[in-house]
Amino acid sequence: MLIIVLIIIISFILIAYKTFISRIIKEKDLQHQAEINHQKQLTLENIKGQEDERKRIAITVHDDIGNRLNILSLWLNNLDSENQDSSKKVITSQITELIDSTRNISHSLYPVNLEKLGLILYLQELVTNLSYKINLSLYIDGRYQRKDIFTEVQIYRVIQEFTSNVIKHSNADEVSIYIRNHSGFLTLILSDNGQSFDYKNASKGMGLKNIESRINSVKGIFKWKNKIGKGSRIIINIPF
């Protein structure tokens, strides 16, 4: 009788153990599938983001540079010898604007001079270029040391994307950028005095996803600290 009871108990234990193991395997399979689906979604969003960026650049080239070249061509073809001074001024102005437009498109594709100038000088140039749109304050730790080019490009893109989003959506007139060196990691604090946003509702937007994916690409961690009506802030720590 005792043997039968032991057999029954052992059978229950084996069945319970098998059920437990099966549930763990199933949960891991579901988690693995969820991760695969998440990566697929990120890939699709990344592709869509790239296509949107290509479209924006194509429109800029067509509508801005293309139109300016057409205007310049017309001016050259109808150059009046009696009004050469005024014609030269207009042509010079068009050429200057073409150079600026080309430089802006180049910067949007890749910050080509960042490797040569370094992140600090490139950010100072960004501040100057945006000074007519927003008051941009830049505070950089004097101990800052240059990072590898990939990391510096991602930092620059994060700041560029944050500032662009602020200008487009927040009604802010001030943006502050803090870059501080610590032992083993770099802290980046970006803040504005705009209307801010609800992160849960805004987190699906491409602007925030671009910022966060770039932070993740350099193994950084981040935290948003927003107050509706009182501005937004993101604190980023990037390991060396």
What are the residues whose beta carbons fall under 8 Å from the beta carbon of 101, sequence distance 6 or more? 60, 64, 65, 68
**Residue 143 pLDDT more than 90?**
no
Nearest-angstrom CA–CA distance, 149 and 40: 28
Mean pLDDT in residue range 209-236: 87
What does the mean pLDDT of the chain come to? 78
Q: For residue range 102-126, list pLDDT tens digits in order.
A: 766 666 666 767 777 888 888 888 8
User: Which has the closest alpha carbon to 164: 130, 118, 212, 209?
Assistant: 130
Question: Which residue shows structure tokens 């950010």?
Answer: 123
**pTM of this structure:** 0.63
Q: Which tens digit of pLDDT belongs to each residue from 37-58?
A: 777 676 666 656 666 666 666 6
**Reported confidence tier of residue 82, pLDDT bands at 50, 70, 90:** low
Residues paired with residue 138 on neighbouring β-strands, in sequence order: 177
Q: What is the DSSP letter of 193?
A: S
Reported as a single tens digit per residue, the pLDDT across 12-27 is 676 766 776 777 777 7
Check if the beta carbon of residue 210 is closer than 8 Å to that of residue 222: no
Smallest CA-to-CA distance from 130 within 169, 173, 95 is with 173
Q: How far apart are CA 162 and CA 147, in angstroms?
A: 21
Place of tokens 């487009």: 168
